[in-house]
Amino acid sequence: MLLNSDICTFDWPAPDFDLATPAGTRHTRDGLMGPNGLLVAFICNHCPYVVAVIDRLAADMKTLQADGIGCVCIMSNNYRDYPADAPDKMTAFADAHGLTVPYLVDEGQLVGRAYGAVCTPDFFGFNAQGGLQYRGRLDDMGMRGDPAGRRPELLEAMQQVAATGKGPAAQTPSMGCSIKWS
């Protein structure tokens, strides 16, 4: 089912988390926070909206990390009902698409619920103080239907957050498949 994310509630505080990669390496919100902020992306392996943007997202995350923004991907889907999202498939998915940031399993779906994630992909961009500054989509290509006219909303917004601590006032909600809750 196609859903849109909620609009940005500026300065809403980033919920804490302590999650592991499929290999068992644990990561926390504070441990991943960069000097200029944190980007949390709720994704999964099987969603066609994620598959369509994952290579660009991986590249944008590398750029953002160079700008002092910590980045993480979290998979909150109920993978027992959606085995393509199972932890044993997450590492291969990340490797196939050049995703170098931690890709974490939200086993109990508590982190997805705490963030209010509704779709995949769903992006939460926080400033260095942990206040929400971006809740939008990767780009506006779907709005114009013209790949040449694509504007990289997420990358530009997070670079603005890195430079000023504030996100853009105008944001376009993300859209994607619903998170598969238990």
- pLDDT at residue 53 above 80? yes
CA angle 34, 39, 42 (to 5 degrees): 145
Residue 79 main-chain phi, psi, to 5 deg: -75, -10
Q: Is the pLDDT of residue 144 over 50?
A: no
DSSP reduced 3-state for 45: coil
pLDDT in tens, 149-171: 556 699 999 999 999 999 999 88
Spelled out in words, what is the top-level CATH class assigned to the domain 2-178?
Answer: alpha beta
- The pLDDT of residue 142 is 46
- Write down the mean pLDDT value for the chain: 92
Q: How far apart are CA 174 and CA 153, in angstroms?
A: 10
- pLDDT tens digit sequence for 94-126: 999 999 999 999 999 999 999 999 999 999 999
pLDDT band of residue 8 (cuts 50, 70, 90) is confident
The pLDDT of residue 170: 87
Specify the pTM: 0.93
> What does the pLDDT read at residue 172?
87
Percent of the chain having pLDDT more than 70? Answer: 91
Supply the pLDDT for residue 151: 60
Residue with tokens 């997805």: 112
What whole-number distance in Å separates Cα of residue 171 and Cα of residue 123? Answer: 12
Q: What would the mean pLDDT of 22-34 be, rounded to a whole number?
A: 98
Cα separation, 159 vs 140, whole angstroms: 17
Mean pLDDT of 20-33: 98
